[in-house]
Amino acid sequence: MTSATTPSGARRPPTPRRRVAAVAGVAATAVALGLAELVAGLLPRGRSLVLAVGDVVVDRVPGWLERAAIAVLGTADKPVLVVGVLVVSAAVGAALGVLARRRFVLAALGLTGFAVVGVVAALADERTTPWVAVVCGLLGAVAGVAVLRVLLDAAAGPVPRAGSAPPRGVDAGSAPPRGVDAGSAPPRGVDVGRRPFLTLVAVAAVVAASTAVAGRWLAASDRVERIRAALRLPRPARPAPPVPAGAALAVPGLTPLFVPNDDFYRIDTALTVPQVDPGTWMLEVRGMVDRPFSLSYDELLAMPHVEADVTLACVSNEVGGGLVGNARWQGVPLGALLERAGVRDGATQLLGRSVDGFTAGFPVALALGTQDALVAVGMNGEPLPAAHGFPARLVVPGLYGYVSATKWLSAIELTTFEDEVGYWIPRGWARDGPVKTQSRIDVPAAASTVRPGVRPVAGVAWAPTRGIERVEVRVDDGPWVEARLADSLDVDCWRQWVLEWDAAPGRHVLTVRATDGTGEPQTDERTPVAPDGASGHHSVEVLVEG
Ligand SMILES: Nc1nc2c(c(=O)[nH]1)N[C@H]1C(S)=C(S)[C@@H](COP(=O)(O)O)O[C@H]1N2
Ligand SMILES: [Mo]
């Protein structure tokens, strides 16, 4: 018998090489740190152990060294510090991995001690919930030890069976054995355990990176949400006119006149909602202007605000779809900012840029001479929710969101349509995106069953900037019957409507069409959403019980 046996007589895998063990140690440490980040992000008032250690280092470092570091590194001192903590962690992990080859228990204790350092550093910060710091360290240590065990076992390869080929380094020169096992025996010189080991290291790396990123993102969103929750919007200098009493109909199931923020549709290209700190955020107004300038969030709040009730629609909204909503927006008229900047002759496009790289552009003329095209900071009476563009976004009545409604706005750039194009334009969507007149049946719901008798048919219709003048409903192939319109809130807003329908038993198709404020009826021609928005009439089929 050539391979080692344990006291119980089972074969023990050979010891992995130092370099392999070091990699295992680094991977285990990375998973431990990543998991600690995730737990810190998930639990209340958690603290990143890496950042906590970094903070302690800053506190302990002699003043002259700190000043020298800031002098040399400038604002990069923080990232350099974090990288430093990570590099030291990796070195410690590598050493523990090597140690773990022969003294696993010692290495496990070392990893635990390493976690304790992080926990102690976190406890030094009074913003941390103590038990959360302990849980972070504990889970990190347990995960690190477990990963180290699994990786070392994988590095050692499967326990060799009698007659199978030995791992490299042991008897590598002998000929592969013949017999029943010969076909499955790896060729000479191939490292038996290596492939699963590398796969597991890759898995550990992915787990470490994704938990760390998720944890940091959660921590950032929690922080930004707390800042946002503490904000108070200024009283608008020009509040929206009072909502007419008859603007909202009381029909169960009908979409509310103002869609609550939590129910408002959300469309964007961001994988995760950008978490923008209003304390460091700046809005630039630049490009073809005489006096470019930047505004902080506080400066934006200090300017005179207006309120505008505007229906926002997505170009990807199918006929009858839900990618449309009405809200009360508060902010600074774009016109005021453009006046301050002095738009140069020849500037034709206003391009909004987002912190996430998204861009959307529309004719400059649409921003001038109206109070309702806004840099919005408020939505339905509260600061913009993060998902809807906090701290600021654009809202322009009459345009689909993809050409106008840039969220997490970072710059307003005056340019031309020749020089710049918005994000979606090269991707097959029209350069101009005026919102098409549309109407939708909310009640009764499609494919629902209703009792016979007089029943409301109700919904919303919108043609922002033009307003809605008439809505008609048709039952099956019958005549168009005019519905009762709720009072108009604003030409930029959708309008509710209702028709009392005498529902006779059987299957029926209800169809709606709207006419905008210019007298133009909604086309019945069906077009797809691309390239410039769906058109056609919305129909629902319902069953009236017999
Ligand atoms: N930064 C950014 N802003 C964006 C988008 C985006 O993908 N990224 N999508 C736009 C589109 S297509 C629409 S319809 C509206 C939707 O705004 P909402 O999510 O607040 O409803 O945001 C617009 N603003
Ligand atoms: Mo959209």
How confident is the model over 206-223, as pLDDT tens digits? 999 999 999 999 999 989
Ligand 1 centroid from CA 291, angstroms: 28
Extract the tokens encoding 270: 């961001």
> What digits encode the pLDDT tens for the residues 274-287?
999 999 999 999 99
Confidence of residue 161 (pLDDT cuts 50, 70, 90): low
Residue 167 has pLDDT above 90, yes or no: no
Question: Contact at 8 Å (CB) between 21 and 89?
Answer: no
The average pLDDT across 112-128 equals 92
Extract the tokens encoding 283: 């809005």
Question: Contact at 8 Å (CB) between 370 and 281?
Answer: no
> What digits encode the pLDDT tens for the residues 7-40?
444 555 567 889 999 999 999 999 999 999 999 9
Burial track 204-243 (b if 16+ CB lie within 10 A, e otherwise): beebbeebbebbbbbbbbeebeebbeebebeebeeebeeb
Residue 102 has pLDDT above 60, yes or no: yes
Q: How far apart are CA 185 and CA 176, in angstroms?
A: 7
Ligand 1 centroid from CA 329, angstroms: 15
Query: What pLDDT is stored for residue 270 in this prediction?
Result: 87
Ligand 1 centroid from CA 405, angstroms: 6
Ion ligand 2: residues, CB < 5 A: 267, 314, 401-402
Q: How far apart are CA 120 and CA 351, in angstroms?
A: 49
Query: What pLDDT is stored for residue 57 in this prediction?
Result: 86
Query: What pLDDT is stored for residue 61 in this prediction?
Result: 80
Any atom of ligand 1 within 6 Å of the Cβ of 327: no
Any atom of ligand 1 within 6 Å of the Cβ of 356: yes
The average pLDDT across 41-50 equals 90
Which ligand 1 atom lies nearest to the CA of residue 402? 12
**Which of the 8 DSSP states describes residue 238?**
B
Q: How far apart are CA 531 and CA 105, in angstroms?
A: 64
Any atom of ligand 1 within 6 Å of the Cβ of 353: no
Identify which has the larger pLDDT, 190 or 291.
291
- Percentage above 70 pLDDT, the chain: 90
Q: How far apart are CA 199 and CA 192, in angstroms?
A: 13
Count CB neighbours of 313 within 10 A.
Answer: 25
Query: What pLDDT is stored for residue 71 in this prediction?
Result: 78
Confidence of residue 4 (pLDDT cuts 50, 70, 90): very low
Residue 196 has pLDDT above 60, yes or no: yes
Residue whose C-alpha is closest to residue 29's, from 143, 135, 113? 143
Any atom of ligand 1 within 6 Å of the Cβ of 402: yes
Ligand 2 centroid from CA 440, angstroms: 18
Query: What pLDDT is stored for residue 9 in this prediction?
Result: 45
According to the per-residue pLDDT averaged within each range, which of 150-154, 176-180, 387-391 is highest?
Answer: 387-391
Which ligand has the nearest atom to the CA of 529?
A: 2
Main-chain dihedrals φ then ψ at residue 438, nearest 5 degrees: -140, 155
- Residue 94 is which amino acid? A
Looking at domain 438-544, its CATH class is mainly beta
Query: What pLDDT is stored for residue 158 in this prediction?
Result: 62
Sign of CA dihedral 538, 247, 392, 274: negative
Query: What pLDDT is stored for residue 381 in this prediction?
Result: 97
Q: Which of 267, 271, 323, 374 to mutate to test the pocket of ligand 1 (most atoms within 8 A of CB)?
A: 267
Question: Contact at 8 Å (CB) between 118 and 37?
Answer: no
Q: Which residue's C-alpha comes closest to atom 1 of ligand 1?
A: 407
Q: Which residue's C-alpha comes closest to atom 2 of ligand 1?
A: 407
Which ligand has the nearest atom to the CA of 360?
A: 1
Domain 245-427: CATH superfamily, name plus number: Oxidoreductase, molybdopterin-binding domain (3.90.420.10)
Numbers of helices and strands, H then E, in the chain: 9, 19
Q: Which residue's C-alpha comes closest to atom 21 of ligand 1?
A: 266
Residue 177 has pLDDT above 90, yes or no: no
Question: Contact at 8 Å (CB) between 14 and 156?
Answer: yes
Query: What pLDDT is stored for residue 78 in this prediction?
Result: 78
Which ligand 1 atom lies nearest to the CA of residue 400? 14
Mean per-residue pLDDT over the chain, rounded:
90
* Cα 85 from chain centroid (whole Å): 28
Burial track 270-303 (b if 16+ CB lie within 10 A, e otherwise): eeebbbbebeebebbbbbbbeeeeebebeebbeb
Question: Contact at 8 Å (CB) between 34 and 215?
Answer: yes
Ligand 2 centroid from CA 422, angstroms: 12
Query: What pLDDT is stored for residue 175 in this prediction?
Result: 41
Main-chain dihedrals φ then ψ at residue 281, nearest 5 degrees: -65, 145
> What digits encode the pLDDT tens for the residues 51-76?
999 888 888 888 788 788 777 877 67
Query: What pLDDT is stored for residue 11 in this prediction?
Result: 54
Confidence of residue 159 (pLDDT cuts 50, 70, 90): low
Residue whose C-alpha is closest to residue 372's, from 305, 429, 287? 305
Residue given tokens 């070091």 in the structure block? 22
Query: What pLDDT is stored for residue 179 in this prediction?
Result: 38
The average pLDDT across 290-315 equals 98
3-state secondary structure of 9: coil
Q: Which of 275, 406, 407 to mutate to test the pocket of ligand 1 (most atoms within 8 A of CB)?
A: 407
Query: What pLDDT is stored for residue 187 in this prediction?
Result: 42
Lowest-pLDDT choice from 262-276, 338-352, 398-412, 457-471? 262-276
Q: Bridge-partner residues for 404, per DSSP?
A: none
The domains of the chain are located at: 18-157+193-219, 245-427, 438-544
